[in-house]
Amino acid sequence: MSNNTKWLASVQSLEEAQSLNGCLPDILDMKQPAKGALGALPVDIVEDIVKWVSGRCLTSATIGDLPMQFDVIEPAIMNMAGTGVDYVKIGLFGGEEQTDCLQALTPVIKQLTTPVIAVIFADRNYETDVIEQVLKAGFSGVMVDTAEKNARSLLDLWSIDALTAFVNTVKNAESLCGLAGALRIEDIATLRALKPDYLGFRSALCPERRRNASLSATLAQTIASELE
């Protein structure tokens, strides 16, 4: 979509969101880092944050690290979409059930007024056509992240060539494209050159890169400045 790479900041509470009041990201993402790569926040907290943001930036929220089962994921999508977030994010953790689950979710995603973003993981294995499966299922975008938060970053796991191919495939389909996964502030210039729609940050916003700690408004300002 856009030519300018924007940024996403993941927050785990209303207090963290409010700490960014002077430096709101382009997308304020909501998740619970202590509960996994895409740990979900309670719906009432997401609603409070959406109300506080009041349209000043876009918002997104994850549905949790869930098994690829339609009867688990579909209600989680609907519950999170009901909070008023601009995007709902679903983690695709691979496995034999994923293809069938995506097919079952397709009519739900296509009928939902809230755009749904698929998250794939650089440290998981997928069928070679996973991006095509996701786009066919009606997702509005795809981002790549890391599932295991063990200090290995996206750039440790995927080559620049692989990242370039990913960005081009998603953007050529006119879908939103995001890169995340233990990104460092010093990675911004390299990744921005690939022209993804956005870069996602959590650990880079936290002192000593401790993703479960509270984030720093100063580090947020630094990231925002790098992407101006």
Active-site entry in 89, 110, 149, 171: 89
How would you write the chain as a 3-class SS string?
A: CCCCCEEEEEECCHHHHHHCCCCCCCEEEECCHHHCCCCCCCHHHHHHHHHHHCCCCEEEEECCCCCCCHHHHHHHHHHHHCCCCCEEEEECCCCCCHHHHHHHHHHHHHHCCCCEEEEEECCCCCCCCHHHHHHHCCCCEEEEECCCCCCCCHHHHCCHHHHHHHHHHHHHCCCEEEECCCCCHHHHHHHHCCCCCEEEECHHHCHHHCCCCCCCHHHHHHHHHHCC
Known catalytic membership, residue 89 = yes
Q: What is the pLDDT of residue 79?
A: 98
State residue 124 phi and psi, 5-degree precision: -120, 160
Q: Which CATH class is domain 6-226?
A: alpha beta
Domains of the chain: which residue ranges? Answer: 6-226
Q: What is the pLDDT of residue 190?
A: 97
Task: Give dist(CA 7, CA 18) in Å, integer.
Answer: 17
Q: Give how far Cα 226 sits from Cα of 19, 22, 181, Å.
A: 19, 16, 18
pLDDT in tens, the chain (228 residues): 456 999 999 999 999 999 999 999 999 999 998 898 999 999 999 999 999 999 999 999 999 999 999 999 999 999 999 999 999 999 999 999 999 999 999 999 999 999 999 999 999 999 999 999 999 999 999 999 999 877 789 999 999 999 999 999 999 999 999 999 999 999 999 999 999 999 999 999 987 777 666 789 999 999 999 998
Q: What is the pLDDT of residue 3?
A: 63
Q: What is the pLDDT of residue 209?
A: 75
Buried residues in 95-128 as b, exposed as e (16+ CB within 10 A): eeebbebbebbeebbeebebbbbbbbbbbbebee
Active-site entry in 31, 51, 149, 195: 31
Task: Give dist(CA 145, CA 124) in Å, integer.
Answer: 10
Q: What is the pLDDT of residue 78?
A: 98
Q: What is the pLDDT of residue 161?
A: 98
> Exposed, middle or buried: residue 172 (CB in 10 Å: 0-12, 13-18, 19+)?
exposed
Task: Give dist(CA 16, CA 12) in Å, integer.
Answer: 7
